[in-house]
Amino acid sequence: MKFIKTFALYVFAASFFLAGVTHFIYEEGFAAMIPPFVPMRLEIVYITGIIEWMLALLLVFPQTRRAAGIATAVFLIAVLPANIYAAIISAPSPWGTETNFVFLWLRPLLQPLLIWWVIAVSK
């Protein structure tokens, strides 16, 4: 059981780190997910990418794992409105020009599962 939990932790951390990388590769696409009235959208995309890197790294170390798990859950809650907004306006995926309706609504619907996952593996 410990192996499965550790494996799930590293899968989550690696995925979260890679998600942060995509914020710098597809920054314009991620900025389109933020409502136009929000200032400094590109800067927000870069900052959230860096936060994802930091949280992913902090999840790896046992000394910071619990706090990083809680912080990651809070972060996932904080970005949920952007995912909902992207689904409502049918924003194309950050890395493309097409809109995938299922993907758009799957992201916010799966957010509670990601929150549960990071809390479970960071205990």
> What residues contact 9, with CB distance under 8 A and at least 6 apart?
59, 60, 65, 121, 122
Give the DSSP per-residue string, 36-85: TTSS-HHHHHHHHHHHHHHHHHHHHSHHHHHHHHHHHHHHHHHHHHHHHH
pTM, 2 dp: 0.91
Instruction: Give the integer Cα–Cα distance in Å for 113 and 64.
Output: 22
Instruction: Give the integer Cα–Cα distance in Å for 77 and 58.
Output: 18
Nearest to 80 by CA among 108, 50, 100: 108
Q: pLDDT by residue for the chain (123 residues), tens digit each?
A: 899 999 999 999 999 999 999 999 999 989 988 999 999 999 999 999 999 999 999 999 999 999 999 999 999 999 999 999 989 998 877 777 777 778 889 989 999 999 999 999 998
